[in-house]
Structure 1
C-alpha cells in the first residue's frame, strides 16, 4: 500500500500531538503526584530551575510548562520565599 505525502505528514502530526498530550518526553507518574518542593530565592527563574533540575532529555520549555502546571501559575514569575513544587522524578539539588 502506497502512502501519499499528505497522509504521511498527517500521520506524523497526529503522532506528535499524542506524544505532547501524553506527557512528551517525560511521563510524570500521575497528574497529582509531584516531586520536591523548593523555596525560591531572590533572582531565581523557572528557566534557571530547568537548567538545574530538568532530567536528561527533557527540554527546558517542557520543564517550565510542567512546573507552571503543577503550581497553577498563570505567569512564569517567581517571588523570593515562594514555595514551588517540582515534577516527580526530579531530585532537589541545585
Structure 2
C-alpha cells in the first residue's frame, strides 16, 4: 500500500529584474539611433533630389567675356543699377569661380536678379 504525504507547497519565488540607469540609456540609444540615421538619410536624399531638380530646369542668361574684361566690368555692364560688389559675388557663386581670372570667350551665367529680363 502506498501512502501519500501531503505537504504544503511553497509559493513560487518571483525574481524581479531591475533595469539600471545605464541599461535605460542603452535601450534608449538602440531605439533612437536608427531613427536618427533614417532621418539623416532621408534629409540627405531629399536635398540631393531638390538640388538636381532645381539645376536641370533653370535657364540662365549668359554673357561672353571679352578681351580685357574683369568681373567688376562685367558686373557694371550687366547691372549698372546695382552695387558691383553684390553682382560680382553672385557671379562667382553661380559660376563656381575659384579665382577672378577670366578668359576671353568664356561664358558666364548671369543670376536672374541681374539679367534685366
Q: Please give the range of the TM-score, normalised by the shorter of the 2 chains.
A: 0.5 to 0.7
Q: Who is 1:84 aligned against? A: 108
Q: Which runs of 5+ in 2 are unaligned?
A: 1-53
**TM-score, with normalisation over the residues of structure 1?**
0.55
Structure 1 position 35, deviation (Å): 3.4
Structure 1 position 34, deviation (Å): 5.8
Mapped contact 1:35–1:91 kept (Cα < 8 A): no
Q: Who is 2:67 aligned against? A: 42
| Larger radius of gyration between Structure 1 and Structure 2 | 2
Helix, strand or coil at the partner of 1:68: helix
| Number of matched pairs | 61
| 2:70 corresponds to 1:53 | no
Structure 1 position 55, deviation (Å): 5.5
Q: Which runs of 5+ in 1 are unaligned?
A: 1-30
Q: Who is 2:4 aligned against? A: none
Q: Who is 1:5 aligned against? A: none
After TM superposition, the runs of 4+ consecutive aligned structure 1 residues lying more than 4 A away are 31-34
Helix, strand or coil at the partner of 1:85: strand
CA RMSD of aligned residues (A): 2.2
Deviations 1:13-70 (A, max 9, x none): xxxxxxxxxxxxxxxxxx85463111111111111111111262x2111100100100
1:26-41 alignment to 2 at 5 Å?
32=55, 33=58, 35-41=60-66
**TM-score, with normalisation over the residues of structure 2?**
0.45
